[in-house]
Structure 1
Amino acid sequence: MKNFPPFIMVLLILSFISCKEDEVDTVAEEEARIQAHFDSLDVDVSISESGLYAYPIRAGGVPSAGFVLSISYKIWVLGADSASTSIRSLDTVVVKKNANAIYPIGIDEALSYMKEGEKWGFVLPSYLAYGDHAFPNVLIPAGATMAVELELLDVRSENDILDAEVSAIADYVTDNNLRDTVTYPLNQPEMLANGMVYKRLKAGTGATPQSGQFISVTYEGRFLDGTVFDRAPNASVFEFYLGAGSVIPGFETGVQRMQLQERALIVIPSYLAYRESAVVIPHNITSEVADLEIIPSYASKVPPYTPLVFEIEVIGIN
């Protein structure tokens, strides 16, 4: 170990003490800010082991075994003018709790307090919120303490979700005339037992791909309403090993039915696609959070529990 002159050692010790005091002051300042917030409210506050502050705004509802929640929210930086800096959800947000699919993590914990029909308020210390990340476009600085109000509108199971998706997929087949053999003369759409739909658009040749083979495809990914969320055209061929788990299960299932040079339309329920995906609150920092690799990149494109439509052409099997 290097030996420092005595006066240098004194400076190093003083510097270390100063840094520790700064850390304590930062934590103390955050705690004081939170305490001041609750001093201004006439509510019963509970504090979890992790440090989440929770209080009911509107009680009610009954417990449910379901874990897929429809919520609305309002969120703002604690201490800021909530009237001008708060962000509300524009639409109902669907999330799966206790699945590491909600950011910030404090909101995932907050939802465990709630029953259907209830509204609660929470305060998230910075380490349960966004930590050292800053999002200037929504006026969230680094180290921000966040206040949030959550309303739990509906609770469902994943089976409930799948039942609704099966109906939506059947409507898609009807609304897009996939049974029209004039427009699509090759075959009727196949309704697979797993909830998928397979419709051949252009005939192929040869055998179907086998697990372990290297597959080259072009594709376009759409939602049921026709919105395109991803594509790999001829200039950007997508390649993968079949059976390696590098693509969503429904995509692999569809490709396994196809021949070389075949083009097909494949409709996939969410449980064979991105399932709960990931939700960022507020929603308008989702792309930034994906860029920081806090959530997977696909989550910035595909909302939770979203059936998908892929138009795929197999251009290589090796």
Structure 2
Amino acid sequence: MTKFLKTSLGLVAATSLLFSCNEFKVTQETDGSKFQIHEKGDGKTTAKEGDIVTFDLVIKAPNDTVFTDTYKRKEPIVMPVQKGAFKGSFDNALTHLSAGDSATVYVSADSLFMRVQQPLPPGVTKGSDMKFIVKIKSIQTMAEFQKAQEEKKNNEAKVMENYAQKNFPNATKTQYGMYRVVLKEGSGATITAGKSVKVDYTGKLINGTTFDSSVGREPIEFSVGQGAVIPGWEQALMMMKKGEKSIFFIPSNLAYGEQGSGPIPPFSPLIFEMEVIDVK
């Protein structure tokens, strides 16, 4: 009985070790993809060429120097899956990952930097691998992605109205579809096209994420009506006076529209707190 128990426990331990090793082993595919899964997702949807994949990514050199970190930028990457430019590319590895997967993809530094015609940077030695640490957030077909974007576009006005009622109950809705809350009255004449203005600002997404701010830096200075800023800013400033501080809730058609920009997703209404420091 004792011998049987010891044998059984030994088999369980060996089996557990085998599963553990398999779970964290580095896999190499025929297309040259080399990756290690850290956490499995749903396993149902594997990315195919032409699909749209949204993911967070940290790129590290072999010595752990960080080249890219979308977590710090608060800007996940959204891109179509395509065949890699070289064997063992990151693009190829995406076709072996599922929604929810976390993995480290190992990409030949020689192939990567040769492809972009750049010398190996400090900390990256010949024959070493770059580490692409990726977390797949979602995988959509092109049709699914386009449908989701269309729904977001069509629902934007209602989303803005509900958000404004909850967060800016005293806001005035302008003829352009913006919402305005005056925090501090200005003085003098209303700003007109051609005037040079100096403005302090903070820009936020509707989820509260700050994507840009001049606070702690220099205020932005430009001429109104010259296309130097988004249309929502142009229209907002031509309602303001010197010294005024206001919040403007701007629809995406007066901001970055269907393309988005950097950390700003497509069809995103934006919240700007703006203060006119000077008018010339």
Report the TM-score when normalising by structure 1: 0.48
Who is 1:44 aligned against? 29
Question: Is the Cα–Cα contact under 8 Å of residues 59 and 132 in structure 2 kept in the other structure?
Answer: yes
**Alpha-carbon distance between aligned partners in 2 of 1:207 and 1:89, rounded to the nearest angstrom:** 41
Who is 2:276 aligned against? 314
1:70 counterpart (28, 35, 54): 54
Q: CA deviation at 1:148?
A: 3.5
Change beyond 3 A, Cα 1:242–1:133: farther
Percent pairwise identity? 18
Q: CA deviation at 1:262?
A: 3.8
- The yes-or-no answer on 1:126 pairing with 2:109 is yes
Residues 1-318 of structure 1: matches in 2 within 5 Å?
Answer: 43-46=28-31, 53=33, 60=45, 67=52, 69-72=53-56, 94-97=76-79, 109=91, 113=95, 117=99, 122-126=105-109, 128=112, 132-133=120-121, 141-143=123-125, 145-148=129-132, 150=134, 152-154=136-138, 155=140, 156-157=145-146, 158-162=149-153, 169-176=160-167, 178-180=168-170, 188-190=172-174, 192-193=176-177, 196-201=178-183, 202=185, 205-210=188-193, 212-224=194-206, 229-232=212-215, 236-269=218-251, 272-273=255-256, 276-278=260-262, 303-305=263-265, 307-318=269-280
Question: Is the Cα–Cα contact under 8 Å of residues 204 and 258 in structure 1 kept in the other structure?
Answer: no
Q: CA deviation at 1:240?
A: 0.6
Counterpart code for 2:174: E
Question: Is the Cα–Cα contact under 8 Å of residues 206 and 269 in structure 2 kept in the other structure?
Answer: yes
Question: Is the Cα–Cα contact under 8 Å of residues 209 and 258 in structure 1 kept in the other structure?
Answer: no
Unaligned segments of structure 2, at least 5 residues: 1-24, 38-42, 81-88
Question: Is the Cα–Cα contact under 8 Å of residues 34 and 93 in structure 2 kept in the other structure?
Answer: no
Partner secondary structure for residue 46 of structure 1: coil
Counterpart code for 2:192: P
**Alpha-carbon distance between aligned partners in 2 of 1:227 and 1:153, rounded to the nearest angstrom:** 18
Question: Is the Cα–Cα contact under 8 Å of residues 131 and 142 in structure 1 kept in the other structure?
Answer: no
Report the TM-score when normalising by structure 2: 0.53
**Alpha-carbon distance between aligned partners in 1 of 2:165 and 2:54, rounded to the nearest angstrom:** 28
The CA deviation string for residues 145-200 of structure 1, in whole angstroms up to 9 with x for no partner, is 22436454323344455457656544432332x223xxxxxx6233734xx43334
- Alpha carbon RMSD of aligned pairs, Å? 4.9
Change beyond 3 A, Cα 1:208–1:89: closer
Question: Is the Cα–Cα contact under 8 Å of residues 27 and 35 in structure 2 kept in the other structure?
Answer: no
**Alpha-carbon distance between aligned partners in 2 of 1:188 and 1:95, rounded to the nearest angstrom:** 35
Corresponding pairs, count: 218
